[in-house]
Structure 1
Amino acid sequence: MVEEIRVSGTLGGSDHAILKFWIIREGKPERTQTSKLDFRRADFDGLRRRVGRIKWLNVLKDRNVQEGWDTLRNAILEAQSLTIPQRKKNGKHLKRPGWINPKLKNLLKRKKEMFKKWKEGYISKEEYNVVCTNCRASIRKAKARNELRLARETKNNKKGFWGYVKSKRKVKEAIGCLQSENGELIKNDIEKAELLNSYFVSVFSKKDSVTATDLRCASEGIRESKHIIETERVREYLANLNEFKSPGPDGLHPRVLKELAGVIAEPLAVIFENSWRTGEVPDDWRRANVVPIFKKGKKADPGNYRPVSLTSIPGKIFEQSIKQHVCQHLDGNSVINRSQHGFVTNKSCQTNLISFYDKITEWVDQGNAVDIVYLDFSKAFDKVSHTILIEKMIKYGIDKVTVRWVHNWLSDRTQRVVINGCTSNWKKVSSGVPQGSVLGPVMFNIFINDLDEGVEGKLIKFADDTKLGGGVANTREERERIQKDLEKLEQWAATNRMVFNKEKCKVLHLGKKNEKNTYRMGGIRLSSSTCEKDLGVLVDHRLNMSQQCEAAAKKGKHNPGVY
């Protein structure tokens, strides 16, 4: 891959210019070996006996939440080490294809033996060719059976299905060399993990602590109330875990938890209830293994990666209960604005696009000039102020017990980046809601909910993806109204410690008589565009879908068999 092409002066007396550029290429991957649980040889009955023989109610009776959690986790891990063997897991480049079964393995071994006999003159070439033909036919059938199996298991094993799809693509998505601030290319996985973690932490807002008054406010009114989680519900969550998911930093694998559903549901329910009532959150639930996901742009730039957090599976189960409890209040009191279509029941990207462009096309069809401003928050999920979020939860009437728990869940969080089994050091998280958690999206919706206040134009959101349908822009007064809306949005961002990325905020001018007015945010001129990608759909200034169709066709052409 060639990047950063620059033209410099001529060479000697030649009239040809000198081109300077970077050639980015992958080096030979290092052979990495890690261990994984070998569930095929596991003694699950023994696992259940070892954990189930403990009198958990007596054990947890005099322990606080942290002590109770540590006791349960350690008991599971100890029983796991005695009943589930481990096997070496090689790097992906050494991994045996999933379609190779024992029968096919023996056939390939026989083919190798027959080749040796043919070379030594013990058999004819025709006899060897018969074995080769049978081997090729068996391989085709094995691959077909494997693909059929993956297709049938897609609902429960999306990770396996998309892993297979990615393996067929020409462009691999592994994290290659990264470029540090001083221009050095980083190749080692541990160093890459450290570089990415340092970048992810650098975008956080400065740590702000809740004042004593805020803490009192979040703690007042705690009283005896009904349980928010029952043992049977915990058992149901455990039994329905996706066993193909990755474990969190606590090392508890979802397959192990699923097998222990009938044994650990009761002690987990006790720990969950005590955690909610006391506000104490175990350390493991506030840690995250961060997986970097490439977005777009230069792959060597750490800024072009998005952090996705892998957190504790039991912690996520309790987050489900907190989420359900919070959403009941939000839905029952119509707290979340109708403009929000992300992570809201019965809403989606489709409802966002249809409801927005239905009104926009109506205005354009009436012969009006219409201006749309596509807004871009800079690292929105990572910059959420914990103090402001807690204040908004109290403002929207969420009960104080839950508010206190969420505050403690967000406080003193730590994260590390994991690349090919190599980890960075732990770093503190001073702001934001974890991307990849269960509660994160709901908390973000609460945080951004009042963005609409005072805005006259049609504002619509999908989580942090926001656009302002400024409305009709025929007259100067109408265009000034759109400008005032942008100023209100900029003021909201300043008040809530968020930042708009002005370079990525774009204006789309629609209508034949559009004067293409210049708009500003924070004194910076917003660029206009003739085509913008909105939730994956290309929208141009003519409201014509030809560019979207061409892009889809081009994507399919470059990835035959995938799209």
Structure 2
Amino acid sequence: MSTKQYTYLRKIWKYDEGNYDNYRQILRDCDWNFDSLSVDDQVNLVTNNILHAAENSIPNKTVLIRPRDPPWMHNEIRKNIRKRNRQHKIAKISQTPEDWTRFKELRNKVIADIKTAKINHFKKIASNLQNGNISPKNWWKLTKQFFKEQNTSEIPIIIDNNEHYSSPSEKADKLNKYFNDQSNVDDSQASLPSFEEPNSSIEEIMITESDVDDTLSILNPTKASGSDVINPRLLKEGSSALAPHLAKLFNSSLSMSYFPSNWKKANVIPVYKKGDKTNVTNYRPISLISCLGKVFEKCVFKHLYNFINDKKLITPVQSGFTPNDSSVYQLIDLYNTFVKAIDDGKEIRAVFCDVSKAFDRVWHRGLLYKLRRMGVKGGLLGWFGSYLWGRTQRVVIDGSSSSYLEIKAGVPQGSILGPLLFLIYINDIVENIGSNIRLFADDTSLYIIVDDPEVAAGLMDSDLHKIHEWAKQWLVTFNPQKSEELVISKKSIPLDHPRLSMDNVEIKRVDEHKHLGLIFNTTCTWRNHFQEITGKAWKRIHLLQTLKFKLDRRTLEIMYNSFIRPLLEYADVIWDNCYDFEVEALEKIQIEAGRVVTGATKSCSASKILNDLKWETLKTRRYKHRLINFYKMIHNLTPQYLSNLVPQRVHQVSNRTLRNNDDFSIPYARTNLYSKSFLPQTVRDWNNLPDQLKLAPSLNSFKTLLNKDKRKPHKYYFFGNRQSQILHSRLRLHCSSLNADLFDNHISESNLCTCGSPETAEHFLLTCNKYSEIRNRTIDTIPLNYSIQILLEGNNLLSDSLNEEIFSKVHEFIIKSRRFN
């Protein structure tokens, strides 16, 4: 459903052209007298000073934004489209041949201009993608323009109760109301329990100029600004001039237990998820808050986190938002437990609990209570109250914004402190749980290894009841209807397990469940997971194929490595015990990507493609990933629960002196499933490593030694335009349309050139008389003695510039020969 085009004005800052010496000098000359000013007035003074310095140091302009226009559109094309449309009306009225001829000329010009604009646009994107200094955010933004040209950010008419809302301001109001409604909790009947005073406490924080300067120096300058329009680049560039004044402001805020009101305002950008685009429930909010406020939060975060970490106040079963932990680490531990139990002939019951809007519905009074119970008190606790209460948000669409609405619950989205505050809020859910519980932020899972089905069911039912009671106390909504149970078993006659329930709702038993991005099934095999990742990867490969002739080799390779290969490698250390046919299915995807990147045809072998690209097989990469993970486990670079899995050394479990005394004892495995899983297989692989690798003093040195035989791609293979790259690669890979290649690949009945000799690459490039004159002007001008191998592959002993010169002459010869037209 379309709506009319709304345009708006936007101020654009040319940060790359800024005079930052002048910017810093203006900041130093500004009035920074905070005496007698309230905290809010201090913030206004800081904001005005920064913007004043920016206005006088950084070029900026106001531009008209047309949200619906494709990215390649420009004013000249718009002007010609208007001319074409006017002429079309004239021709329809006059019906004269002259007017129709004029219309066709204008129409053809528009078509040609659009084609040229698209080509130039994609060339510009390709050039930007190769820029080593481009930020990850901008890289993905550019990449997605290839994978989806159309503007998916546009929000069409919003329909609610059969009412249509079409203007940007109307849509913003409806979406803001919906988002705000998700952040409400009914605490009218809630009460807080008593608690014992903690043994240690923190009641004040002093932020130093060094704290602020360190935080400013690591800011990401590409991040978006909030409602105060101060970009992080302005803060980073002005760090030396700003740090002392910001430190004074931050300490003033802390001493007065007051968080600045301007920093509690959020601009919300609605992002489409899936489903009907006219329905507000199919959008999620992205909150943009003040960068200055986030700098302040970062300084506070350091002090709060150090206190919590030193006192070990966060449960060790929490893997979300915790340093040195990750979703993959939790998955390694879970899967190892599951397959070990299966190996022991046991069954496992696992329940994955669904939580509604957990971050958005944190009860503020409850969170402050939990902060107090952890030891945060005095003025600092008051500051956190000010930080949480009185926050507002507005939705911004196409330059128009809704009115502000107050946020009455939740941790601030987009904030630095929000994730840590959420961990504090959910932390005590694990208390008195009898089965095994794992958390990843709000993802809550329970599991138990079953000895007696009745006992196990009773314990899990009891735990689910405790979680439900905890949720009622703290106003968290668990959804038993959406929670799922997985019974994992390899028994030919599985046990009869009583059903589980939560809040009198039976938990649905399923054959598969996706947990932290990995699909578990009832037998701990990977069929379901592979179906998903190969399906997604092939869709992206097909999109990559459409770009085969639009983009050069370097850009295509970057896109595969960044956009497709991660799909094939997420948590790969866990599922490396997959079946051989599943391994092959993944390798086929990588080889197809290699064909796109090199331009190789179907007749080219996988080994030639990998050799040309200097890519490792995915299997080799998984082997290395497992060893790197194990090195981290040995050296306590992973969470303790993972390091605890490292088995004892041989000399620790045997009284005899053996040649392999320092090896790790390999966990006993009865089944292939467990034997080939991460721990037993990686211990075997580790024991087979040379001592130099095992004794590597650091993770970086271990990685360097592990990759010492890895070949680097030749930079000069990226040289030239796309057509030349492909034709040259095909000659090198023996899959060109030369008759010798066609004959060898069983496509042609003869390998002969029209001159009578076998038409090999050597014949074509060096001896065929048909191309003597072209050869004299191109290849024969190369300033060294060359062989066919050098012409096709270059030579690592030569400089990159000389190799590029060789390739330039070869490319020129290939194109001018017109042999492959």
Q: Which whole-Å CA distance do the structure 2 matches of 1:222 and 1:558 have between them?
A: 52
CA offset digits 1:406-438 (Å, max 9, x no partner): 111001110111233332110001010012110
SS in 2 for 1:196: helix
Q: Which whole-Å CA distance do the structure 1 matches of 2:350 and 2:525 have between them?
A: 15
SS in 1 for 2:299: helix
* Aligned pair partner of 1:411 in 361, 383, 389: 389
Q: Which whole-Å CA distance do the structure 2 matches of 1:292 and 1:136 have between them?
A: 28
SS in 2 for 1:425: coil
Q: Which whole-Å CA distance do the structure 2 matches of 1:45 and 1:320 have between them?
A: 26
Residue 80 of structure 1 corresponds to 54
Larger Rg: 2
Whose relative contact order is higher, 1 or 2, with alpha carbons under 8 Å and at least 6 apart?
1
Q: Please show how residues 4-153 of structure 1 align to structure 2 within 5 Å.
A: 25-27=1-3, 30-56=6-32, 59-84=33-58, 85-88=60-63, 90-91=65-66, 93-94=68-69, 142-149=124-131, 152-153=132-133
1:233 partnered with 2:203: no
Which one has a larger percent strand, Structure 1 or Structure 2? Answer: 1
TM-superposed deviation, 1:304:
3.3
Q: Which whole-Å CA distance do the structure 1 matches of 2:441 and 2:318 have between them?
A: 7
SS in 1 for 2:530: helix
TM-superposed deviation, 1:469:
1.2
TM-superposed deviation, 1:367:
2.4
Residue 182 of structure 1 corresponds to 161
1:328 partnered with 2:303: no
SS in 2 for 1:60: coil
* Aligned pair partner of 1:435 in 413, 431, 452: 413
Conservation of the 8 A alpha-carbon contact between 1:207 and 1:430: no
Conservation of the 8 A alpha-carbon contact between 1:230 and 1:269: yes
Q: Which whole-Å CA distance do the structure 1 matches of 2:537 and 2:523 have between them?
A: 25
Residue 485 of structure 2 corresponds to 507
Conservation of the 8 A alpha-carbon contact between 1:414 and 1:427: yes
SS in 2 for 1:380: coil
Letter in 1 for 2:49: A
* Aligned pair partner of 1:498 in 476, 501, 505: 476
Change (3 A) 1:480 1:179: farther
TM-score, normalising length: structure 2: 0.56
Change (3 A) 1:50 1:302: same
Residue 22 of structure 1 corresponds to none
Residue 366 of structure 2 corresponds to 388
Q: Please show how residues 258-407 of structure 1 align to structure 2 within 5 Å.
A: 258-407=236-385
Residue 544 of structure 1 corresponds to 525
Q: Which whole-Å CA distance do the structure 2 matches of 1:73 and 1:544 have between them?
A: 57
TM-superposed deviation, 1:384:
0.5
Letter in 2 for 1:265: A
Which one has a larger percent helix, Structure 1 or Structure 2? Answer: 2
Conservation of the 8 A alpha-carbon contact between 2:273 and 2:283: yes
Change (3 A) 1:514 1:437: farther
TM-superposed deviation, 1:516:
4.8
Conservation of the 8 A alpha-carbon contact between 2:363 and 2:474: yes
Q: Which whole-Å CA distance do the structure 2 matches of 1:27 and 1:137 have between them?
A: 29
Conservation of the 8 A alpha-carbon contact between 1:329 and 1:398: no
Conservation of the 8 A alpha-carbon contact between 2:271 and 2:285: yes
CA offset digits 1:119-178 (Å, max 9, x no partner): 99xxxxxxxxxxxxx9999888655432211xx235xx1221111122122375425336
1:194 partnered with 2:202: no
CA offset digits 1:30-88 (Å, max 9, x no partner): 444422223355443443333221252xx113223222111111222233334432231
Q: Which whole-Å CA distance do the structure 1 matches of 2:121 and 2:152 have between them?
A: 27
Q: Which whole-Å CA distance do the structure 1 matches of 2:4 and 2:467 have between them?
A: 49
Q: Which whole-Å CA distance do the structure 1 matches of 2:392 and 2:122 have between them?
A: 48
* Aligned pair partner of 2:458 in 480, 498, 513: 480
TM-superposed deviation, 1:528:
1.8
TM-score, normalising length: structure 1: 0.80
Change (3 A) 1:516 1:190: farther
CA offset digits 1:185-239 (Å, max 9, x no partner): 544332222122111111223476999x99xx99xx998x6x6321123123223
Q: Which whole-Å CA distance do the structure 2 matches of 1:434 and 1:498 have between them?
A: 17
Q: Which whole-Å CA distance do the structure 1 matches of 2:528 and 2:367 have between them?
A: 40
Aligned length: 498
Conservation of the 8 A alpha-carbon contact between 2:202 and 2:376: no
Q: Which whole-Å CA distance do the structure 2 matches of 1:138 and 1:519 have between them?
A: 61
Conservation of the 8 A alpha-carbon contact between 1:234 and 1:269: yes
Q: Which whole-Å CA distance do the structure 2 matches of 1:482 and 1:48 have between them?
A: 62
Change (3 A) 1:140 1:95: closer
SS in 2 for 1:168: helix
Conservation of the 8 A alpha-carbon contact between 1:292 and 1:307: yes
SS in 1 for 2:147: coil
SS in 2 for 1:517: coil
* Aligned pair partner of 1:242 in 220, 226, 231: 220
Change (3 A) 1:325 1:544: same
Gaps of 5+ in 1: 1-24, 101-118, 121-133
Letter in 1 for 2:133: E
* Aligned pair partner of 2:137 in 128, 144, 159: 159
TM-superposed deviation, 1:519:
1.7
1:529 partnered with 2:510: yes
Q: Which whole-Å CA distance do the structure 2 matches of 1:31 and 1:412 have between them?
A: 33
SS in 2 for 1:381: coil
Conservation of the 8 A alpha-carbon contact between 1:178 and 1:301: no
Gaps of 5+ in 2: 75-100, 103-115, 545-562, 565-821
Q: Which whole-Å CA distance do the structure 1 matches of 2:19 and 2:139 have between them?
A: 27
Q: Which whole-Å CA distance do the structure 1 matches of 2:354 and 2:299 have between them?
A: 32
Q: Which whole-Å CA distance do the structure 2 matches of 1:135 and 1:529 have between them?
A: 52
Residue 104 of structure 1 corresponds to none
* Seq. identity, %: 28
Residue 77 of structure 2 corresponds to none
Change (3 A) 1:189 1:559: farther
Conservation of the 8 A alpha-carbon contact between 2:518 and 2:529: yes
Letter in 2 for 1:240: I
